[in-house]
Chain A
Amino acid sequence: MLQVKSLTKIYDGGVKALDNVSFEVPDGQFLAIIGLSGSGKSTLLRCINRLVEPTAGQILWNGEDITAASQDEMRRIRRRIGMVFQHFNLVHRSKVITNVLAGRLGYVNPAWSLMNRFPKEDIEKAIQKMKRVGIADKAYQRADELSGGQQQRVGIARALMQDPEMILADEPVASLDPVLAHSIMTHLEDINKKDGITVLCSLHFLDLVHRYAGRVVALNEGKLVFEGLPKDIDDKKFKDIYGRDAERVG
């Protein structure tokens, strides 16, 4: 269970990216986070693994206070939270398998990993995860030689290497075409359903939300403006979320 309580983030420039946001996510849920660009979706996801330091509020995960964790504790928490990014965020010049193995960095002993040595089990695990997302044959290519869809699958494999209990996906399909988008979303759905991993996924398109999400929270200018089931987003709610002038398409 993830509990976000009165979370507020004010950036150095004075932008209030999150404004007193509270919600809860039961274990094993597929939660979609929607909202316009700049509404604070990325900030929210990054506060959960503290890539961004929250200004105020609390985040509890299975009773553990993430916001109060020390640096060491934070590393232990982070290694159980996978993250998938809009721009994949792979290290371009490294091999695919190195990118995937990087998911183990929170577990392996730093001294060995600095010498680029990973335990045998981890390498086997990496191959297994790459097989799962269908890129095992690319293992020894450079990451930037892969297409966008393949790169995002590397990103997912990297997250899976962490043995995560939760995956944060920040617009994972926003830079992919619709066909690839569905393939990536299917992988995330599979992970959520088969492994019971909680998924928090920010999305742009409502049809994806309807198709994959179990529940939705919506942000508008940092405020939580909707929380409920995807089918409950009616026209009025839609305008609350996307602004008065927005038109529903499709």
Chain B
Amino acid sequence: MKNKNDRKASPWKSIKVGLASLLVMVILAYGFQITKINLEELRSKQRQESLIRVARALAKPDFFEYDQVEEVINAPLFVPCLTDGSLPAMPNQTASNPYLVITPACANPGDTIQVEGFNFASKASGPLRFVPGNDPNNVVTLGRVNVETDSTGYFIASMILPDRQSTDMQYIRASLRRNIGLPHLTQTAHDTWDKIIETVFLALLATVFGTILAIPLSFLAARNLMKPVKSPLISISLSALGWPIGIALGFLIVREVGDISNAIGSNIWINLASVVVSPMLIWLGMRWAIPPEEINPPHLPIRLARLGVLLLGVLVGFYGFFQLASLTKIVGMNLRGALGSFGFLGNFLFQVGNIVALLTPVLGGLVAGGALGSFLGRIGQQGSEKLSAKGLKTINLFLTSIAGATILTLLGLLINWLYQIGNPLYTLWGPMAVGGLLGILLAIFSEAKEALPIGMVIYFITRTILNALRSVEALIMAIVFVIAVGIGPFAGVLALGLHTIVSLAKLYSEQVESIMSGPLEAVQATGANRLQTIVYAVIPQIIPPYISYTMYRWDINVRMSTIIGFVGGGGIGFLLQQNINLLNYRGASAQMVAIAVVVASMDYISSVLREKTI
């Protein structure tokens, strides 16, 4: 029975195997055609010659050069010999001046003559050329032989005369160059150095900013942290309303603070005083408003007073930020002039001041958004505990529809801003209605007091965005940013930074998901809140993998930053591509060597650091 089965199966099996191999062959053949694999191309003489030329140029990276002096000496001859048999005058054969001796001094085209040079500089080299006509400065040269003098300044070479007949005197010209002084760096080397510094800093900035932003995102994209985050609907919708309102309010208020700070002036002493005094005020305020330990919550008036002091403290803090920005700008501007070749430090300070001044309102928006969002969320939480299910449902209907309408309207406005649709039906009223309707449906069909898994919703949204962005290559992002902010390293920093954020956030979040849950549980059991649990149980566990992934990303960013210039993203890739296009392979070789050195040494540094930290 079994045998029969085997015999029956085997031909069918062979046919299947045969068909499968045939299919593989067809696919491979098609692949060959598509990718235009053609070894003939490699064998063609032209290709080989250019390959050799490129290889030789690449072997001589354009780093060093000598200053050169050139000696140009002409010696007359007749081609062909004159009928009257006269010969050109012999040059002065003195011991100090270089001269050429040609034997024979007249010959027919195609004959070989011998050229000897005397008294040239030693170790000089250059072409030996035939200059037709009676003008020794004539630029037309025919025939060319390279010669090199020995240590006594003598050379001997033979040359075949070209077919240029004339009764006039013609010339052999030796233009010998020699190096003087010590070798020095070429312009290419200087440019390469500048660009390699740019490249390293491009990678550094992208890694630093990417890492800083990837850390909070990685928590949102970690299932084990987000799964327990559940809130009743009222709390979610209040929080969803609180965020945008808070962001808008915070942005406006902090910008107002910025105007006040500007009005107070950019006097260095005022700035300095503000920068010193405001942290002290904040510290005092915090000492009063945030008691270290409190067994029972205090009465409402005291709590309100504390809230007020904290709010004031935050405003003072932002004022301090603006003053700090102004201070660094002034200091930077002064240093830029005073420091000479270290002026870049001043420039750095100036730029940092600018960035701080620009980002502070954004930060204010985020802080206010977070504060208002979580404050309203807590109110919602308490409301859902105190109110009756029926009353809650009514409130939910109202709040959730508003929240849904707000969110979708904001999305609609964003889409309108991006695509400039300009039809308010699609981008304003439509989304508003749909959002409101969705909110009402959600309110109707969910239990009023049920805790909804909002954490998982945030988790999925974050994951989806991260995955979508991660699948876009950094080079493509660079192209987009080049369009947005222009050619240069800034576009490269943005592209690499964004790519770093999304890929690190994914890697980090996987590390968060694989931490030990025991310590998490233990810290939770002490009554710690969610943020405390993250700080005390999650962060200590993820520090080593975070460091090693950051190093890994640093390596990638160094590599990427070397080629991001190909699409205009700054760094050394720009030079490399330029030189390749100009067929300047010695220049390109210099850049390739520089890239190899930088990548290898950064690799080494990061591996040493990795050993030290883990």
A residues apposed to B, CB below 8 Å? 49, 51, 70-72, 75-79, 81-83, 85, 87-94, 98, 102-114, 116-119, 121-122, 155, 158, 161-162
Which residues on B sit within 8 Å (CB–CB) of A89?
A: 516, 518-519, 521-522
Which residues on B sit within 8 Å (CB–CB) of A49?
A: 525
Contacting B295 at CB < 8 Å: which of A78, A107, A121?
A107
Q: Is A119 touching B293 in the complex (CB atoms < 8 A)?
A: yes
Interface string of B508-548 (1 = CB under 8 A from A): 00000000101101111111110110011100110110000
Q: Is A114 touching B293 in the complex (CB atoms < 8 A)?
A: no
Q: Select the residue from B286, B525, B531 with max chain A CB neighbours within 10 A.
A: B525
CA–CA, A72 and B378, complex, Å? 10
Q: Is A71 touching B519 in the complex (CB atoms < 8 A)?
A: no
Contacting A110 at CB < 8 Å: which of B385, B529, B537, B543?
B529
* Nearest CB in chain A: distance from B186 CB, A: 51
Which residues on A sit within 8 Å (CB–CB) of B536?
A: 91, 94, 98, 102, 105, 113
* Nearest CB in chain A: distance from B74 CB, A: 82
| Given A85-B518, A93-B540, A102-B528: A112 and B292 interface contact (C-beta under 8 Å) | yes
- Chain B: CB-nearest residue to A76: B527
| Given A87-B518, A93-B543, A109-B290: A51 and B527 interface contact (C-beta under 8 Å) | no
B239 within 8 A of A: no
- Chain B: CB-nearest residue to A83: B525
9 tightest Cβ-Cβ pairs between the two chains A and B: A106-B527, A79-B527, A89-B518, A105-B528, A89-B522, A78-B527, A119-B292, A83-B525, A91-B519
Which residues on A sit within 8 Å (CB–CB) of B292?
A: 108-109, 112, 117-119
CA–CA, A108 and B525, complex, Å? 15
Which residues on B sit within 8 Å (CB–CB) of A102?
A: 522-523, 526, 528, 536-537
Which residues on A sit within 8 Å (CB–CB) of B535?
A: 113-114, 116
B382 within 8 A of A: yes
Q: How many A-B residue pairs have CB under 8 A?
A: 110
Contacting A91 at CB < 8 Å: which of B293, B295, B537?
B537
Q: Is A108 touching B293 in the complex (CB atoms < 8 A)?
A: yes
- Chain A: CB-nearest residue to B538: A91
Which residues on B sit within 8 Å (CB–CB) of A105?
A: 523, 526-529, 532, 536
Which residues on A sit within 8 Å (CB–CB) of B529?
A: 75, 105, 110
B400 within 8 A of A: no
Which residues on A sit within 8 Å (CB–CB) of B531?
A: 110, 114
Contacting A92 at CB < 8 Å: which of B382, B526, B541?
B541
* Nearest CB in chain A: distance from B274 CB, A: 23
B interface, over-half SS: helix
CA–CA, A111 and B516, complex, Å? 25
Which residues on B sit within 8 Å (CB–CB) of A162?
A: 526-527
CA–CA, A105 and B529, complex, Å? 8
Q: Is B290 touching A112 in the complex (CB atoms < 8 A)?
A: yes
Q: Is B286 touching A111 in the complex (CB atoms < 8 A)?
A: yes
CA–CA, A91 and B523, complex, Å? 9
| Given A70-B382, A109-B294, A114-B531: A90 and B526 interface contact (C-beta under 8 Å) | no
- Chain B: CB-nearest residue to A70: B385
Which residues on B sit within 8 Å (CB–CB) of A51?
A: 521, 524-525
B291 within 8 A of A: yes
* Nearest CB in chain B: distance from A126 CB, A: 13
B residues apposed to A, CB below 8 Å? 286, 290-295, 381-382, 385, 516, 518-519, 521-529, 531-532, 535-537, 540-541, 543-544
* Nearest CB in chain A: distance from B284 CB, A: 15
Q: Is A81 touching B382 in the complex (CB atoms < 8 A)?
A: no
- Chain A: CB-nearest residue to B521: A51
Which residues on B sit within 8 Å (CB–CB) of A90?
A: 519, 522
Which residues on A sit within 8 Å (CB–CB) of B521?
A: 51, 85, 89
Q: Is B518 touching A106 in the complex (CB atoms < 8 A)?
A: no
Which residues on A sit within 8 Å (CB–CB) of B524?
A: 51, 78
* Nearest CB in chain A: distance from B450 CB, A: 13
Which residues on B sit within 8 Å (CB–CB) of A85?
A: 518, 521-522
CA–CA, A70 and B230, complex, Å? 12
- Chain B: CB-nearest residue to A113: B532
A sample of 7 cross-chain residue pairs with beta-carbon separation below 8 angstroms, ordered by A number, consists of A78-B524, A78-B527, A87-B518, A91-B540, A107-B294, A109-B292, A119-B292
CA–CA, A98 and B290, complex, Å? 21
Q: Is A109 touching B293 in the complex (CB atoms < 8 A)?
A: yes
CA–CA, A79 and B524, complex, Å? 9
- Chain A: CB-nearest residue to B385: A70
CA–CA, A117 and B287, complex, Å? 12
Q: Is A71 touching B381 in the complex (CB atoms < 8 A)?
A: yes
Contacting B522 at CB < 8 Å: which of A79, A121, A158?
A158
* Nearest CB in chain A: distance from B347 CB, A: 33
Q: Is B526 touching A79 in the complex (CB atoms < 8 A)?
A: yes
- Chain B: CB-nearest residue to A161: B526
CA–CA, A161 and B531, complex, Å? 20
